Structure 1
Amino acid sequence: MQEIKLYELLGYVKISPYRTNTLKSIGKDIKMPSEIARDININTSQVSAALSDLKKQKLVICVNEEVRKGRLYKCTELGLEVLENIK
């Protein structure tokens, strides 16, 4: 990936503690929003907003989009690359 694009995404994630902590919580796992909320001690609605933002930037994907409850999220390769630069 271009270094400039990486820095843009890195800044986008780091400017929001919710996005940063959501990405960190998922890491290399597959998690539900409720699990992430428990991990980082914030409301599920805040996690959902962070996931929506991260999804728009192609940093996370929902692996079972068709279900209404019990959605699972994982980091994309791009998300893992950004996460590597946050730690």
Structure 2
Amino acid sequence: MLWDDVSFVLGSPLAKKILIVINESKEPIAPVQISKLTKIQRTNVSKKLIPLVEKKLVICVNPESRKWRFYEITPKGREVLEKLNRMQ
């Protein structure tokens, strides 16, 4: 349910920052790049990406890769951000 996802992102400032950075990226982006842009430790970025993928707010475009996985936002992730923007 979309409101559960909105609630999750509202309750996690890290998830919100990560989702915004992925949304603003013109191409898929790696955790190390997200870390540099958000000033969040890479391990924390990687840990927070797991529930974002599980909730289908972002997808890993190369899940078979052991190194340098890249992520992009999904239409559902964009919809969550739009709802958050309208709320604020």
Structure 2: give runs of 5+ residues left out of the alignment: none
2:56 match: 58
Note the residue ranges of structure 1 that are not aligned, 5 or more in a row: none
What is the aligned counterpart of 1:71 among 46, 66, 69? 69
Q: Given residue 16 of structure 2, which amino acid in structure 1 is its aligned partner?
A: T
Identity among equivalent positions (%) equals 37
Q: In 1, distance between residues paired with 2:73 and 2:4?
A: 17
- Structure-1 residue corresponding to 2:21: 25
Partners of 1:86 and 1:72 in 2: CA distance: 24
Q: CA deviation at 1:28?
A: 4.9
CA contact (8 A) 1:28 1:80 kept: no
Aligned to 1:8: 4
The residue type equivalent to 1:6 in the other structure is: L
What TM-score do the two structures reach when normalised by structure 2?
A: 0.87
Are 1:38 and 2:33 counterparts?
no
Q: 2:38 corresponds to which letter in structure 1?
A: I
Q: CA deviation at 1:86?
A: 2.2
What SS is found at the alignment partner of 2:45?
A: helix
